[in-house]
Amino acid sequence: MLSQALSSAASKLARADGRPVEWAVSEGLVGYEAAVAAMEARAAAIAAGEAAELVWLLEHPPLYTAGVSSKDDDLLDATRFPVHRTGRGGQFTYHGPGQRVAYVMLDLNARGKDVRAFVRGLEQWIIGALGEFGVPADVREGRVGVWVERKGPGWSRAPLVGFANTPPGGGGREDKIAAIGVKVRKWVSFHGISLNVEPDLSHFSGIVPCGIHEHGVTSLVDLGVPATLDEADEALRASFGRVFGETVKGAAPVKPA
């Protein structure tokens, strides 16, 4: 458990000038290529001092993305959904309806210039949002993302092809509920996080998520928490404020397809 190590992340991640971050939510599905182009343009504008920081929440149609550390063998079904090669950190992940993607464009020049602290802050942000639903979550040494430990009989899900249903020796099982994959250019971040609210978990079986064979994936609804995307957004915004500072309503860079 590393949650105790996360508590210091927020101390350097809030802007000293208190300038709020714009917060935008897209309704409907947003195409991946259009989203990435808009995100990169906004990040460049932030670096040039021409735009405010932005957190952009959206849903994508079903697709797989491959980060810079992805391995071809971890793409188990290349024909199932479109595959997008991307410059973010990490390996293969899935995006689709029912999953909240948050693209995070923050100026780290004003937030301590510490990429490790920034990633810890993203972890703390997700953990805090899950806490709004009473879901205990944490990070794990050597694994990217945020995880839940399933101990009781009520914490069950349909098995995914290619994933262990229980760990060796029995007992509880750890499933991933949120992914993190970021890039930083000129000390401005882009890409971000994805939180599984109610996606079709069988869609993950076309890849080895983040290159990890030993564990599965889960979602809030899969854990028995009947959360909506709107409710997840509220929790994310509340937790973001505690870690990174205040937000104000902003406009989404592109409209859904």
- So which residues are the catalytic ones? 210
How far, in Å, CA of 233 to CA of 102, rounded? Answer: 10
Phi and psi at 118, nearest 5°, equal -60, -45
* Residue linked to tokens 């854990």: 223
Q: Kindly state the helix (H) or strand (E) to which residue 132 belongs, with its residue range.
A: none
Which residues in the chain belong to E strands, given as ranges? 21-29, 54-59, 63-66, 83-85, 92-95, 99-105, 138-140, 143-150, 173-185, 188-196, 216-217, 247-249
* Residue linked to tokens 């290159």: 211
